[in-house]
Amino acid sequence: MDYAKLGLKVGLEVHQELATKHKLFCQCPPMLFRDDPEYTFIRRLRPSQSELGEIDPAALFEFLKGKTIIYEANRETSCLVEMDEEPPGPLNAEALDICLTFTLLTGGTPVDEVHVMRKIVVDGSNTTGFQRTCVTSLGGKLEVGGKTYSLQQVGLEEDAARKIADEGGVSRYRIDRLGIPLIEVTTDPVIYSPEEAEEVALAIGRILRATGQVRRGLGTIRQDVNISIVGGALIEIKGVQELNLVSKVVEYEVQRQVKLLKIVDILKERGIKATDLTDKPLDVSDLFGETKSRIVKNALSKGGRVLAVKLGGFAGCMGIELCPDRRLGTEMADHAKFAGGVRGIFHTDELPAYDITVEEVKALRKKVGASDSDAVVIVADEEESCRRALSAVVKRAREALEGVPSETRAANPDGTTHFTRPRPGAARMYPETDMPPIVVSSERLAKLRANLPEMPEAKLERFTTDYGINEKLARQVINSDYTQLFEEMMGEDLADPVQLAVTLTEDFRGLQRDGVEIDNISDALIRDTFGLLKAGKTAKESLPQIFTWLAENPDGSPADALKALDLGMLSGDDLRSMVEAKVSENREMVERMGDRAIGPLMGMMMGEVRGRAEAKEVQALLREAIGALSRE
């Protein structure tokens, strides 16, 4: 795509959890618990009016879902502040210093006073119904690929509770994450391609990690991406957790908006107007009395109904693919699910299918008075849920006549997105009355400026010089979550630098692709594993197996892994005996190939010793045994 011609503009909001000693407004440790909760409590949140009497549309949208929220907690990771039973304590000074450090590294201007605000959030992720947030600096810039990118601001806020489950009208959250300090870095919309967006996000992450005070692991850093094109709309895409998805998210969102604009042209050519669309659904349950569709049959058996609406002139548009596996019908289904709590919709661009027959479709079209140019949407559920769902479908169809609706969306694992709520308005933010302003003194800034950490490019040069690793490997370490651990272990002489760098980057990424939960492995376990390697109690070939075991048993130790996996080192005599036996078994090949037999024999031996011997020792013994055989 010609992104310049499309007028693509992208802005990033990078959110990173900070590794402070306690949460932002209380003394609870910033950690998650894996066990069952010690207690639960229930809330039903509702929006309130701003000082001007306005209600934020996004907050109202969430409230209309009618959700009940069950919160899970334990006493180690949360207190009355997270439960909203006690006012917040003082702002975490350590967290503020980290934000100010980032600002000084990027040339921003710290604010004179920090004012904590309340940002309305009523999806259940905050027990209060709002998130506490504050601006700590304005401006700043960073250099990426020879281009300068400007920053809007840096903020500090509390992280939200983590959703555990959605069970119909009930959502479950754990409040252990609620209140963990979160830095928010916002760029200006000066990014003009998907690749640039990913590169800038990576650069921000590198500088954040350079502070040495950020948390590690999946979910600790998240990117929100704001995207617009000429003629389209500003779309906020939240929760992009994987950095390598940023460019894909931008690419797919541009595709989506371009296709939506083409649909506008199609509908205009057909002369369709918003007044042609009615949100008065028709009950068509009698048409499905003998249906084989499991979804429809289940709904009717529980006393539900099947309701339908006609979308005049929409035939063929519902099935237009906006981006991979996402169609206009999918967009309407998202709105229906959120508004009515239904599982989904059926529409005539995709029927007959899902065990709905040709005859049922013909009868449906006839009953609603649909021509060949019309689309029909049906929903099977409780009657009131169906009505709300179809009302949302018609509303989305009217928006399709105008263009791209401005909304908030969430990222899917494949880089596509789905609708979550309307864009918030100005009524969303108001002052936090329980927190006094915090003065940012010149003395505080001077102290931080005198102790600024090393920037990534300087670190890259030092890594190649001090540790003797090549630039590519050094860059991989700096771009990873393990930069600080790598330096600490090098300072303690715990590992070979190349081996450690490869393990923390390439090997760990490979294990993650295989489904291994690397985030379960603590720094202490990594240190202890390399301690065993240095002590000669295991071989480097065993590291992937040990780390896989530790990821599955995070309360165990590397010594436990060695025992469970039978990876203890072979004695010299045992290894020599195994090598001599292998050479004897393959005597014909050795006599024919000579030293060239070492390659295939190495493969056989390493498969047998399974990390219980060093490759170089096996190779030396093979060479010795082959030499002895040739002298016979």
Q: Print burial letters for 102-121: b (CB count within 10 Å at least 16), e (below 16).
A: bbbbbebebbeebebbbbbb
Using the 3D structure, point to which of 548, 565, 582 is the last residue of a domain.
Answer: 565
| Residues 6 or more apart in contact with residue 103 via CB below 8 angstroms | 109, 110, 136, 137, 140, 154
At 631 the pLDDT is 66
Please tell me whether residues 578 and 526 are part of one structural domain.
no
Q: Are residues 192 and 274 in the same domain?
A: no
577 in the same domain as 520: no
Judge if 207 and 97 occupy the same domain: yes
428 located within any domain? no
218 lies in some domain:
yes
Alpha helices in 25-181 (DSSP H): 57-63, 93-105
As to burial, measured by CB atoms within 10 angstroms (0-12 exposed, 13-18 middle, 19+ buried), residue 302 is exposed
Residue 542: helix, strand or coil by DSSP? helix
The β-bridge relationship of strands 407-411 and 235-240 is parallel
281 SS3 class: coil
pLDDT at 611: 67
Residue 175 φ then ψ, to 5°: -95, 15
Say if residue 224 is in the same domain as residue 312.
no
Q: Which of 61, 44, 49, 72 is CA-nearest to residue 129?
A: 44
Tell me the CA distances in angstroms from 36 to 72, 75, 79, one per residue in order: 9, 12, 17
Answer yes or no: do 123 and 201 share one domain. yes
Rounded CA-CA distance 534/536 in Å is 5
Say how many domains are in the chain: 4
In a domain, 213, yes or no: yes
Domain that holds residue 619: 572-630
Same domain, 134 and 200: yes
Which of 216, 234, 252 is the endpoint of a domain? Answer: 234
Domain boundary among 565, 588, 613: 565
Look at residue 257 and tell me if it is in a domain. Answer: no
Cα separation of 316 and 125, whole Å? 39
Is 144 within a domain? yes
Q: pLDDT at position 339, please?
A: 87
Q: How many helical (H) and strand (E) elements, i.e. helices and strands, does the chain have?
A: 22, 24
- Helix/strand/coil (H, E, C) string of 209-251? HHCCCECCCCCCEEEEEEEECCCCCCEEEEEECCHHHHHHHHH
- Residue 242 within a domain: no
Consecutive 10-residue runs of the chain (632 residues): their mean pLDDT?
96 97 97 92 72 55 69 96 96 98 98 95 87 97 95 97 85 96 98 97 95 88 96 95 93 98 97 90 96 96 97 97 96 93 94 96 97 97 95 96 94 95 73 94 98 94 95 94 93 93 95 92 95 87 92 93 81 78 83 82 78 78 79 64
Same domain, 141 and 223: yes
Query: Among all chains, which residue has been given the structure tokens 């009302």?
Result: 391
What CATH number corresponds to the domain at position 318? 3.30.1360.30
Report DSSP state, residue 275: G
Same domain, 544 and 576: no
- At residue 614, the pLDDT reads 75
Q: Are residues 202 and 334 in the same domain?
A: no
Torsion of CA 296, 299, 305, 309, to 10 degrees: -50
Do both 85 and 169 map to the same domain?
yes
Q: Is residue 95 part of a domain?
A: yes
Residue 385 and residue 460 share a domain: no
In a domain, 343, yes or no: yes
Alpha-carbon gap, residue 621 to 120, rounded angstroms: 69
